[in-house]
Structures are given as C-alpha cells and as structure tokens.
Amino acid sequence: MVSQTVLVGGVDDAGERLARACREALNAAIAVSTPGKCLAGIGRAIHAVADAHGYESVTNYCGHGVGRQFHMAPFVQHFRNSDKFELAPGMVFTIEPMFCERSASCEVLDSDGWTVVTRDGGRAAQYEHTVAITHDGCEVLTKGGAPQEGQWNGYLH
C-alpha cells in the first residue's frame, strides 16, 4: 500500500507545513523500523514529530501487517504507546501516520461509509508506505511506485 496527501490548488503555507510534517513523521518511523526494535518505537517517532510541529496524531486508525490476509497483525499505532512487539526479519507492514492541524477526532461520513473527516473541520494529512523488516534494516517496498510481481518473495512467510 502507498498513500499520500496531494495538495491541490493554492494551498497556503500552513497546509504545506502540515503535509511536510506528516511526511517527516513517516520517514522518522521508517528510520526506527529495524530488527530488534519494537512497535512502540514507531509510535514514539511519529508522535515526536507531531509534538514538534504542534499537530495531533490520529489514534482511530493504524498501520497493519500485509501477508496472507490484508489487514492483519502487527497493528502499528501512530502515537505513543507501550506495544513491545519486537520487529523481526520477514515482517511486512504499513506505516501510515495521519496528522490534524487541530483536533484529531475523526468520523466516517454516513453518505459513503468510507470518507474520513475531522469532526472540527480542520485539515489533515496522511502518508503511507509498506515496509519489510530485513536482517540488516528496513526496506520500503512502495518507494518509487507499486512493487513488481514477485518483489516481495523472501519477505512473506
């Protein structure tokens, strides 16, 4: 999976800062995604960037494992937490932080049952990558576009 906020039209500086901070949080989370570290480190890294920029990190949604099922463990929280689940080679999961410029309280629109909006009408940004934990670090599988057929072989169990 890959997702990114796209700025459309004449976006002001505040909107650009929000998107840039969320992208920075994704990169910070990827940097701490290495064997022997735990999932809590990912949430800590994301939350630290949110704090530094004065944004709220959405707690309603999380990243997830990718494997025999689509949304499966491990579940990756994007805020400070105490999940001690250890990262190990072969794990494949998404990291998908979402930042809000005001309150991180969200709801799904009844009209389509899919679109998520902030309850206070504030702007939000979201970025996502799928990563694989390798023996010597972390590989971003969605960098540069969708993976080619067979690219994930060796990572999935």
Q: In this predicted model, what pLDDT tens digit does every residue of 60-102 receive, in sequence order?
A: 999 999 988 878 999 999 999 999 999 999 999 999 999 999 9
Q: Please state which CATH class domain 13-140 belongs to.
A: alpha beta
Q: 79 — phi, psi (to 5°)? A: -155, 170
Taking only the tens place, the pLDDT of each residue in 25-43 is 999 999 999 999 999 999 9
Q: Is the pTM of this model over 0.85?
A: yes
Residues 6 or more apart whose CB falls under 8 angstroms from that of 136 comprise 35
Q: Is the dihedral of CA 107, 65, 51, 30 positive or negative?
A: negative
Confidence of residue 150 (pLDDT cuts 50, 70, 90): very low
Q: Assess whether pLDDT exceeds 50 at residue 155.
A: no
31 contacts: CB under 8 Å, gap ≥ 6: 45
